[in-house]
Structure 1
Amino acid sequence: MSVTVVVGNPKPASRTLTAATLVAQALRPDSAPAVIDLVTLGPGLLSWGDPAVGEAARTVAESELVVFASPTFKATYTGLLKLFLEQFDGGTGLAGVVAVPLMLGAGPAHALAPDLLLKPVLVEIGATAALPGLYLTDRTFHEDGAIAAYAERWRPVVDALTTKSLQSNTEKATNHA
């Protein structure tokens, strides 16, 4: 199974990256996630046709599970993540991808942001966002148990969704042979 982490924090190697990687590993402990730290793509996100951005978009579109992560900025996800999400066609760009919206913040004031703000965009570009979004407190996520509790509750759903995807792809390959 291919798992990818997409991080929209303007700081490289951020706590958001750490949290997203932990979530991906907890949901799919059998797969090491590919990591796309969007800040490393720099100005390439501002125009169409950048090869590094195109490769990152292909990696995401070909993944079965993607954790989309952002710190909470002005009560929503970052413009950096928005720029990257613009690379995908509406309705089909992330078809076949199980997406997990993840946001971090200083306190509980924006706990609904992953579901209210990030999840609808992921659905709009074709992702399957069957899991609820996850909001983590940026200073306590290492020790508060929220990631483990989320993974324990939602790993069976991820397994079912991605197993179905694997079976569907196998059937398609068999039918074309």
Structure 2
Amino acid sequence: MKTTIVAGNPKPASRTLDAAGLLARALTGSEPDHVVDVVSLGPGLLGWGDDAVASAVELVASSDLVVFASPTFKATYTGILKLFLDQFATGDGLKDVVAVPLMLGAGPAHAMAPDLLLKPVLVELGATTPAAGLYLLDSTYTTDTRIADYTERWGGVITSAATAGTESTS
């Protein structure tokens, strides 16, 4: 199973990236195979045809399991993540990808944001999202039990869906 994390934070090496890595490791028991820290793609995100962006899109689209992570900005996911997601074809750009929407925020007010805002975009791009999204408090995600609780509840569903995709294509 090929696992990738995508972090859409305007700051490189962010808590968002760290949380996505923690979640991917909790779900799979191993390090993610690939990491896309979207901010590192720079101005290539603003147009079409950038080689680095195209390579990142291909990498994500060929993954079995992808954790898509964003901080909560203005009550939704970041514009930089949206710029990256705009590079995928509607309907089948994430075909055969099992996606997990993850968002971090300062307080519980936006706890539904992963499911209400990020998940529909991933589905529109063709991803399978077999579980609820996960919202973490950026101040406690390393010390609370939210990732462990989520993995206990949804880990089997997510990894089974991702593994089923690899078995049907091999």
TM-score after normalising by structure 2: 0.97
Residue number in structure 2 paired with 1:8: 8
Structure 2: 5+ residue stretches without partners: none
Per-residue CA distance 1:79-120 (angstroms, 9 max, x = gap) = 000000001111100000000000000000000000000000
Residue number in structure 2 paired with 1:69: 69
1:130 aligns with 2:130: yes
Residues 1-177 of structure 1 mapped to structure 2, 5 A cutoff:
1-170=1-170
Q: Identity of paired residues, percent?
A: 64
Residue number in structure 2 paired with 1:175: none
Per-residue CA distance 1:124-160 (angstroms, 9 max, x = gap) = 0000011101000001000101011111111111222
- 1:33 shift after superposition: 3.4
CA distance in 1, matches of 2:30, 2:19: 18
Native 8 Å contact 1:25 1:33 kept in 2: no
Structure 1: 5+ residue stretches without partners: 171-177
- 1:22 shift after superposition: 0.4
- 1:31 shift after superposition: 4.7
Residue number in structure 2 paired with 1:173: none
CA distance in 2, matches of 1:91, 1:78: 21
CA distance in 2, matches of 1:96, 1:124: 13
Per-residue CA distance 1:36-65 (angstroms, 9 max, x = gap) = 001111100001000100010001000000
CA distance in 2, matches of 1:31, 1:70: 19
CA distance in 1, matches of 2:159, 2:112: 25
* Larger of the two Rg values belongs to structure: 1
SS of structure 1 residue aligned to 2:5 = strand
Question: Which amino acid is 2:101 matched to?
Answer: P
CA distance in 2, matches of 1:48, 1:102: 26
- 1:32 shift after superposition: 2.9
TM-score after normalising by structure 1: 0.94
